[in-house]
Amino acid sequence: MINILKNVALAPYTTFKIGGNAGFFVEVGSKNELEEAIEFAGNNNLAVFTLGGGSNILISDKGYNGLVIKMNISGINSADSPAGWHIQAGAGEAWDDVVAYAVGLNAGGIENLSLIPGTVGGAVYQNIGAYGAEIKDILVSVKAYDIQTGNIVELLNEECGFEYRHSVFKYNKNLIIVEADFLLSKENKPNLSYPDLQKQFIGAEPKISEIRRAVIDIRLNKIPYPPLYANAGSFFKNPLVPINNFKDLLRNYPHLNGREPRNGYIKLSAAQLIEKAGLKGKRAGDVGVSDKHALVLVNYGNGLAKNINELEAVIKEAVETKFGIKLETEVEKIICG
């Protein structure tokens, strides 16, 4: 039997430590409990927001008037197959626990995504990526609860609409992720496409466990990691610009980093743009741009969503003024509902 609470503070459930109260709040640990929660929302005409690890969101200072469902469906299972290791994980399972589990099996393809905060559901929802790898590279299928039909549906990889930090689940809010199936390799095929990893393993072919260790070390050294610093991870997406535009930028800013040419586009580093706009380490009261990584906005104490929004506007204006590039926000904003 689910326990639905009223007026629950949401800030403690987010890595930003920001946000007002939920009108109604419930934690679910099974598909049946999820169905009960959705039924309650329907009977009371409430909007629904599903909360995972709270690592890539900014919740309004006014909170959320509807029902917030904290997804705690857990469990990790594996199956050996000729194609590789299949790993199934519940949407509420901590993402890095899944990575550690896979590395323990010596199953490759997921190790570059080590130490990313959040849950499996959030990882799929966001199509997380780091150090040359993305969720879409290893995901087979997703099981989701369809609010409209009340049924569990299965979506194959190609049905998930994966793009850079995007999936079908972002715009179809009727689909709530409950489980994901990943296929990982039995062979040692290290992904060293990212420069920081190349430097770590010059002339070597590292083991999966060694890559995981290197990624963890890099992240801890470069990124202000929750809970030591309250933040939501990368606040902006790395912008894609046409190659010709990139060449024009290089005339004035020869040290700009560009990588991964895609269909005539170059991906720039949003962190570098913010830093070159003079905003790395900028403080505005209790919030600021991290002095460790300019892509991360930090809540240093009692920061509010409105303070983050104001800082975001300053950053976007400064980058566009200097480089003519419009930054796109990666963090999802949850309004009152």
Domains of the chain with CATH codes? 5-71 (3.30.43.10), 76-221 (3.30.465.10), 227-334 (3.90.78.10)
From the list 60, 141, 234, 290, the catalytic residue is 234
Confidence class for position 143, pLDDT limits 50, 70, 90: very high
pLDDT digits (tens, 9 = 90+) for 265-321: 999 999 999 999 999 999 999 999 999 999 999 999 999 999 999 999 999 999 999
Residue 49 β-bridge partners: 68
Nearest to 127 by CA among 168, 160, 162: 162
DSSP reduced 3-state for 6:
strand
Q: Two tokens at 276?
A: 């070159």
What is the largest distance, in Å, between two alpha-carbon atoms of the chain?
64
Q: So what's the pLDDT on residue 196?
A: 85
Give the pLDDT confidence score for residue 337 in this predicted structure: 59
Residue among 7, 24, 4, 233 at smallest CA distance from 113: 233
**CB 143 within 8 Å of CB 121:** no
Structure tokens that stand for 79 in this block? 């199956």
Choice among 165, 167, 179, 290 that is catalytic: 165
Could you read off the pLDDT of 34-45 as tens digits, one per residue?
Answer: 999 999 999 999
H or E segment at 317? helix 305-323
Q: Pick the range with the lowest mean pLDDT from 134-143, 254-263, 307-316.
A: 254-263
State yes or no: pLDDT of 322 exceeds 70: yes
Dist CA 91 CA 177 (whole Å): 6
Is 165 catalytic? The answer is yes
Query: What is the separation, in whole angstroms, between the first and last Cα of the chain?
Result: 26
How many whole angstroms from its chain centre is CA 313? Answer: 21
Strands 230-234 and 296-299: antiparallel
CB atoms closer than 10 angstroms to residue 269: 17
Distance CA 75, CA 79 (A): 14
Q: What is the pLDDT of residues 35-89, one digit of tens each?
A: 999 999 999 999 999 999 999 999 999 999 999 999 999 999 999 999 999 999 9
Residue 326 has what pLDDT?
97
Rounded Cα distance, 62 and 288, in Å: 21
In this structure, the number of other CB atoms found within 10 A of the CB of residue 174 comes to 13
Tens-place pLDDT, residues 145-196: 999 999 999 999 999 999 999 999 998 999 999 999 999 999 988 999 888 8
- Here the tokens at position 27 are 């934690």
pLDDT number for residue 49: 95
